[in-house]
Chain A
């Protein structure tokens, strides 16, 4: 402030004029809590990827419904109509069982594969901006969950019209079952996303493993087709346990609960689910330190 003309500057700091008057630069009255800002970022990323997934395609969201329906149609033709014809006790319910299983399976496959690429596919964001990296994994699984919810609601309403389901109090169990499925997908997704940054072969490996798991998860055949020992073994697979219990909850009371099959060994799928989340979080924590350099 050596010259008289500089008085203009000192006035500027007192009453904002010019650029400082822009509402853009006004300080925020309050800053949101960490949890709230993470939640809003997850929501924004999930909604964006949901929107972008079908942007530019004519049928848009409908595709995410057509894909599981196509899978259902094929599996139904091959297994229910030809191979298993007359061999199951609950044959008339099987198409609905298959449909429920395929909708849940599609979510699991969708969530884990998008989670796998969620870090490596966002290299630009990771290299140029800082935010907690796990948010990308959660957002990608949430976007898959949004597809699941829309699909499930559509199929559920359709099924109610045609009396496909046996809805009762037991159907409320769907909520913890879906939660279990989400936790499992998130845990596996975290592990895959972190490892995929370092080992790109994982993309192919997971594709193969998913196919294997598809046949191990009693999606295309009812549990009742297996011998009792095998049923007990197969139900330890959390994906199979979730799908089978979901079928019991909404489709048919003829299907046994997994507790009936597993007894006290019910802890096995539950421990696997919690374990997957634990291993996922731990490995992500360790490996995420060098994401910035590896991408």
Chain B
């Protein structure tokens, strides 16, 4: 299917123009936002659509949802499509949460009676039972998002279409969203997700379409498509807002120290040395700390702390206790310290990283940034707990003779009787 947009070059849409230019026909620039795209999705598939800004991915999603009509080609859909592309569509800030549930739910095609039977379930899911009759304008953005997500889940649709929906909300809420998506997958429903977040695509999608210039340029396993995406973004060199590594340079956490040596950036790198925010259990992970010496000639130490999102302190390897130490610096030097983990033993959860540069005796803080980075670890094998201990199961057995077993069975029955 294809979609052509006619972008007006003049203000031809106003009558003023039509009167002052009675003879000229309106001039347009044609933009082929989606060009000859064809694909099919199986029930139960979680498919991601990625691509640089303006590649046509949102247009494609809007055509799937019938908001835009294709100019050429056709879309056939089996099953009910959730009508929302984004969360909180139609919400009115002047109304209470309860009233907004009825409003949002009726856009989904539900009747008042149906909605009345689920209002409590929505409020409970959104953890807003105590705020049911507060006006939405008094809600925090997090509360609004939770409510909006819960309302969207009322749709009970066969196909969920979502546009950048997960860019909002805290890590715990996002986890809840993905738990719901997991439920959708298990019940053989389809999710189409448009997102910039490569971590999300890699962790949750079964398949990723990569779009560029209105065409699908790659379609396949997330890991393959994402590496291709990185090359495209790198080549375009304007992917600042889509490059997860850039987030680390903000250094937004709590920060203190004399800044004799200063941290300029912290990145998490994957096997290929690419910045990343999500890792698989068992994959290599490298913490890269860029620094510059403002005022120090000599030795210093680097400390890194890994915490779970709930604050549990998991590990704090500093350069004094691991074999390779940090070499001395001179004023004006800048460099990068690498902390390499050959295989991540953490299991699926959100984690934060804190980094500090100290003097050689770890007494004086040069620059400490708390919770500088947040990252996700996912585990495709569903291991339980916090860490993979790396152990293996052994097994020995002796077979019991068959007669003895049936005798035992008879005995059990007699005692029961």
Residue numbers of A with Cβ under 8 A of B are 2-3, 5-6, 8-9, 12-13, 18-20, 22-25, 27-28, 31-32, 34, 36-37, 40-41, 43-45, 48, 51-52, 55-56, 124-131, 198-201, 289-290, 292-293
**Partner-binding segment picked from B60-68, B230-238, B329-337, B368-376:** B60-68
Are A40 and B5 CB-contacts (below 8 A) given A3-B381, A5-B384?
Answer: no
A127 to B292, CA, bound (A): 48
Bits for B346-358, please: 1 = Cβ < 8 Å to A, else 0.
0000000000000
Known: A44-B106, A129-B83, A131-B83. A25 touches B180 (CB 8 A): yes
- The residue on A at minimum CB distance from B15 is A201
Q: Are A19 and B65 in contact (CB under 8 A)?
A: no
> Is there contact, CB below 8 Å, between B114 and A32?
yes
Instruction: List residues of chain A with CB within 8 A of the CB of B14.
Output: 199-201
Q: In whole angstroms, what is the CA distance A28 to B110 when docked?
A: 10
Produce 1/0 per residue, B86-109, CB < 8 A to A.
Answer: 100110101100010011001101
Cβ of B192 within 8 Å of any chain A Cβ, yes or no, is no
Q: Which residue of B lies closest to A34 (CB)?
A: B109
Q: B68 contacts which chain A residues (CB < 8 A)? A: 292-293
B261 at the interface (CB under 8 A from A): no
Contact call A32/B62, Cβ cutoff below 8 A: no
Contact A37 B83 (CB under 8 A): no
Q: Whole-angstrom distance between the alpha carbons of A130 and B155 in the complex? A: 13
Q: How many residues of B contact A (CB 8 A)?
A: 52
Nearest opposing residue in chain A for B112, CB measure = A40
- Which residues on B sit within 8 Å (CB–CB) of A52? 92, 94-95
Question: Which residues does chain A contribute within 8 Å of B22, judged by CB atoms?
Answer: none
Of B90, B118, B153, B154, most buried by chain A (CB within 10 Å of CB) is B90
* Chain B 107-144 interface 0/1 with A at a Cβ cutoff of 8 Å (1 = within): 10111101000100110110000000000000000000
Tell me whether A25 and B153 are in contact in the complex, defined as CB-CB below 8 angstroms, given that A131-B107, A199-B13 are known contacts.
yes
Q: Is B21 at the interface (CB under 8 A from chain A)?
A: no
CA distance A63 to B215 in the complex (A): 55
CA distance in complex: A13, B187 (Å): 9
The answer, yes or no, to whether B383 is at the interface (CB within 8 Å) is: yes
B107 CB contacts on chain A under 8 angstroms: 41, 125, 129, 131
> Is B121 a contact of A24 with CB atoms below 8 Å?
yes
* Given contacts A5-B383, A292-B62, A292-B68, A55 and B94 within 8 Å (CB-CB): yes
Task: Decide if B111 touches A36 in the complex (CB within 8 Å).
Answer: yes
How many angstroms from the CA of A92 to the CA of B13 in the assembled complex? 51
- Of the candidates A3, A24, A32, A128, the one whose C-beta lies within 8 Å of that of B89 is A128
Instruction: Give the contacts of B1-35 with A (CB-CB under 8 A).
Output: 5, 13-16
Q: Identify which of B102, B125, B381, B382 contacts A44 (C-beta below 8 A).
A: B102
B110 neighbours in A (Cβ, 8 Å):
28, 32, 37, 40
